[in-house]
Amino acid sequence: MEFVDNLRRRWCLKLDGPRLREVKQRDGVDLVSDDGWRQVDADLLVAAGVLWTLCRDQANQRGLSERDFQRGFPGAAIKHATAALAAAVASFFPTEQQLADVAPNIDPDDFPPPADDEEEASQATPDYAQLCYEFAGNIGIRPDGLTLAELWDMHHGKLRAARQLQVSQATLFFVSMSAAQVAEFVRSGYLDGSSEPPPDPYDQATVKAMAVKMGQDKSGKVH
């Protein structure tokens, strides 16, 4: 997301896990919480500090100090910048379609999950910066420069590839699934819209039970 300050300098805002964590540590602001936004709205100095943290690398490339940077934000410019910041926060999260594609049983209104009171909110709010690092670690890259939405697609894309392999392996263990069931499992990790996880083809007890069931289904008695 871009904005232009009063000195006609253009700045780009994009949130990633490392920047989210740095803003929380340096400025004491959790940008993905309601409390954090109340801090930004209530105190222009806090807002300016957050913007500097997010734009510091760009400013350094231009040879600008923090004071030079903040000279561009008197008057309405700070409002334009915070509006761009709000848009950057919104684009940090997965979209409703992204959630629906991999988690059909999740209500998009519940991501981030709601809380009934401030104490519960402080306990329930996930560490989204940590989640970025975990997704990136699963993919085998660093999270710098990537939103949670982007890492979400990469992470679940890798899981889908793993499920495709698992389906191939499971077939060798006599798992009987229709083409529609296979497609649903690869997409979401579940069978027939069930909330139960799929069978583990490496679990010998599960494989044996499934083989017994298949024998019953075919002949009416255990082979």
Structure tokens that stand for 8 in this block: 């006609």
CA distances from 128 to 49, 112, 132, 179 (A): 21, 10, 6, 36
Cβ-contact 17, 131 below 8 angstroms: yes
Which pLDDT band, with edges at 50, 70 and 90, does 214 fall under? low
Residues 22-58: tens digit of each pLDDT: 999 999 999 988 888 889 888 888 999 999 999 999 9
3-state secondary structure of 11: strand
Torsion of CA 156, 154, 83, 118, to 10 degrees: 40
3-state secondary structure of 134: helix
CA distances from 90 to 7, 43, 61, 112, 129 (A): 27, 21, 27, 11, 15
Residues 154-178: tens digit of each pLDDT: 998 888 888 877 776 666 455 566 7
Residues 78-137: tens digit of each pLDDT: 888 999 999 999 999 988 887 777 665 555 555 555 444 555 544 556 789 999 999 999
Q: What's the pTM?
A: 0.65
Cβ-contact 19, 146 below 8 angstroms: no
Task: Please say if the pLDDT value at position 199 is more than 60.
Answer: no
Q: Which of 103, 88, 197 is nearest to 152 (CA)?
A: 103
Per-residue model confidence (pLDDT) at position 221: 46
Per-residue model confidence (pLDDT) at position 100: 77
Q: What is the CA radius of gyration of the chain?
A: 24
Cβ-contact 34, 121 below 8 angstroms: yes
Residue ranges covered by each domain of the chain: 2-92
